[in-house]
Amino acid sequence: MDARPAAPATGRPPRIGLTGGVASGKTTVSLLFGALGVPVIDADQVARDVVAPGTRLLAQVFENFGPQLRRADGSLDRSALRRLVFTDTRTRRQLEALLHPAIRVRTELLAAKAGGQYQIHVIPLLVETHAGSQYERVLLVDCPESLQLARLLARDGGDAQQAQIMLASQASRETRLAAADDVIVNDGAPADLTPKVAALHQKYLALAAATGALGPPAHAHPGED
Ligand code: ADP
């Protein structure tokens, strides 16, 4: 797990790509890093920001993918969009081509503003999109599928069959483990996560010191403009 060579100095704080299956505990873990003062950038949030009501990009989404995606309040019906692209690869690629440049720009803007000694980037589909090489370390939040399923149902409701389909559409636990540099196993009480995060925090501070890419002090609220 420690086979990855030391990251080259990039002139920016090292980025830790935090990933894991749905309801594995990514948000829970990222909040613990946040509580230690580490800037956290959430890819899902960035993806929502770029198509916020009133943006030009949202208007383009409606133009290209249909006005039925527009909710009465003008916002994007994300579940309708997900259904539209779920089985249609061509449409999904078109949507990605439209959104990804804006997502990249906003991510870089937030990362530059956030500074910090290192940063946590929460990337739910990091393994599925083979994006590991963009991060100095890949941190996986891992838990047995049975727990993932139980937490997903407890958090979002819905039926067990739908939840199973959602899990099956994502990378397997083994594939994720193979892509990870560091692993937090989230199979105990939430309080068990605190020392695991504290230990990794020390490790990532050491990594940041070794790569010499110390940024400015962390912005208090990296998500704010
Ligand atoms: P993700 O961001 O990966 O989808 P979350 O952090 O939202 O996952 O966790 C999924 C759900 O499980 C949330 O309701 C969260 O509060 C709960 N949860 C996370 N870790 C634990 C744990 N160790 N024990 C019990 N519940 C947990």
Task: Name the residue range of residue 209's domain.
Answer: 1-39+117-219
Q: What was the pLDDT predicted at 219? A: 47
CA-nearest residue, atom 20 of ligand 1: 25
Quick one: 161 and 56 in the same domain? Answer: no
| 184 plus 76 within the same structural domain | no
Query: Can you give the pLDDT at residue 109?
Result: 97
* Other CB atoms within 10 A of residue 179 CB: 18
Pocket residue to mutate for ligand 1, from 28, 147, 155, 167, most atoms within 8 A of Cβ: 28
Q: Could you give phi then psi for residue 122, rounded to 5 degrees?
A: -85, 115
In angstroms, the CA 188 to CA 11 distance is 38
Residues with CB under 6 A from ligand 1: 20, 22-28, 151, 155, 186, 188-190
CATH number of the domain at 159, please: 3.40.50.300
Output phi, psi for 191, to 5 deg: -65, -25
Are 76 and 155 found together in one domain?
no
Q: What is the mean pLDDT for each group of 10 consecutive residues in the chain (225 residues)?
A: 57 96 96 98 96 95 94 93 88 94 97 97 95 97 94 91 88 96 97 98 96 55 42
Q: Specify if 184 maps to a domain.
A: yes
DSSP state of 125: T
DSSP per residue over 33-95, as a string? HHHTT--EEEHHHHHHHTT-TT-HHHHHHHHHH-GGGB-TTS-B-HHHHHHHHHS-HHHHHHH
Residue nearest to atom 18 of ligand 1 (CA): 25
Do residue 98 and residue 28 come from a single domain? no
In a domain? residue 225: no
Model confidence, pTM: 0.88
132 and 198 together in one domain: yes
Atom of ligand 1 nearest to the CA of 141: 3
For residue 171, is it within any domain? yes
Residue 150 sits in the same domain as residue 208: yes
Distance CA(30)–CA(105), nearest Å, equals: 22
Report the alpha-carbon distance of residue 17 to residue 69 in Å, rounded. 31
Q: Ligand 1 centre from 148 Cα, in Å?
A: 8
Q: Are residues 106 and 124 in the same domain?
A: no
Final residue in a domain of this structure, among 92, 114, 136:
114
